[in-house]
Amino acid sequence: MLRKRPKLVSLPTITLALALAMGLLVPTARAQEAQTPPPAPGKPGAADPLELLPAIGKIGAEVGLHGGWSRNPYSLGSGAQGAGFINLPLKKAGGGVLSYEISLRFARSTSDPITVTNPVAFVANLAATGRGDVGPFPYRRVVRSEGSIFIVEPFGLKYALHSFGRFRPYAVAGVGVGVVITKEVPEADESLVFTGTSPFDADLIAGLIAQSKELDALGRPTGQGNLEVAGHVGAGFEVRLSPGLSFQADYRFTKLTGRNASMQIASAGFGIHF
């Protein structure tokens, strides 16, 4: 008995079936993609910016200005001082936040009167009269020192404790460099020659001699300057007046290189948080 042989499906028929099947699958896949919800905010892929340190602000940074009083090094007396700073958060630690601090500070003061000897005037008197301590120029005289101090500390740390709500005590430390510029101002005009002007009656460099009248006429500043290594430690507090503003006060003990080089600073001011 003869069996019927199955009919073979032709190649064009198979190709047509596959094309129809692919046409049905592609719209379905596109519809599923359109229904996929967007990623949740705060997760990778979200369009919203991420907070670096949540719960302490958008990035937890701060800028501010301080002003107050300082007792300056090298027996330069006391006077006003001011500072600006920026704090960048590093990490949460314990009940507070550790920040990296960069600060700039300027202080100016005038010393009490002191008596200085002037070897240049001694030599000038020696040439004029044969005696160094007698002559037209004052060999010993009373002066006041005027000092300007500019401190740059690019490497600092601040730790603020956040456990007490808006009241936040903090500790600070930093290192950098200080520029100290001084000049001596005579208390009286004592020269018998060139009275009231250079070389010995104007502001003195190193207590010895004044710059020329021509440089004074140009408005050139006078004085001597040194570059010193500086470092400080201190403590204070801030009170948050609002999420973006705080009042602050602190004390900082600063030391520069050299003898008699300590500096005590008391400041208060405001910080802006962002």
Rounded Cα distance between 92 and 177, Å, is 29
Rounded Cα distance between 223 and 147, Å, is 9
Confidence class for position 213, pLDDT limits 50, 70, 90: confident
Rounded Cα distance between 146 and 47, Å, is 57
Side-chain half-sphere exposure of 178, counting CA atoms within 13 A: 29
Both tokens of 27, joined, read: 């719209």
Q: Residue 237's closest CA among 176, 182, 169, 185? A: 169
User: Which is more confident, 1 or 214?
Assistant: 214
* Per-residue model confidence as pLDDT tens digits over 135-181: 899 999 999 999 999 999 999 999 999 999 999 999 999 999 999 99
Full set of structural domains in the chain with CATH: 62-114+146-191+221-273 (2.40.160.20)
Please answer whether residues 79 and 106 qualify as being in contact, where contact means their C-beta atoms are separated by less than 8 angstroms: no
Mean pLDDT of 115-123: 92
Confidence class for position 29, pLDDT limits 50, 70, 90: very low
Rounded Cα distance between 196 and 263, Å, is 34
Both tokens of 58, joined, read: 């958008």
Residue 52 per-residue DSSP state: S
Bridge pairing between strands 114-117 and 167-186: unpaired
Residues with Cβ within 8 Å of residue 59, at least 6 apart in sequence:
51, 52, 53, 89, 274
Which residue has tokens 């047509």?
Answer: 16
Q: Residue 176's closest CA among 197, 154, 148? A: 154
Which residue has tokens 């008699």?
Answer: 260
Mean pLDDT of 249-260: 96
Residues with Cβ within 8 Å of residue 220, at least 6 apart in sequence:
211
Please answer whether residues 67 and 107 qualify as being in contact, where contact means their C-beta atoms are separated by less than 8 angstroms: no
Rounded Cα distance between 109 and 40, Å, is 59
Mean residue pLDDT across the chain: 84
Q: Which pLDDT score is estimated for 40?
A: 46
Q: Which pLDDT score is estimated for 238?
A: 96
* Per-residue model confidence as pLDDT tens digits over 43-54: 444 334 444 555
Rounded Cα distance between 176 and 261, Å, is 15
**How many other CB atoms are found less than 10 A from the CB of residue 147?**
21
Give this prediction's pTM: 0.75
Residue by residue, DSSP assigns 212-227 as PHHHHHTT----EEEE
Q: Residue 206's closest CA among 120, 101, 138, 264? A: 120
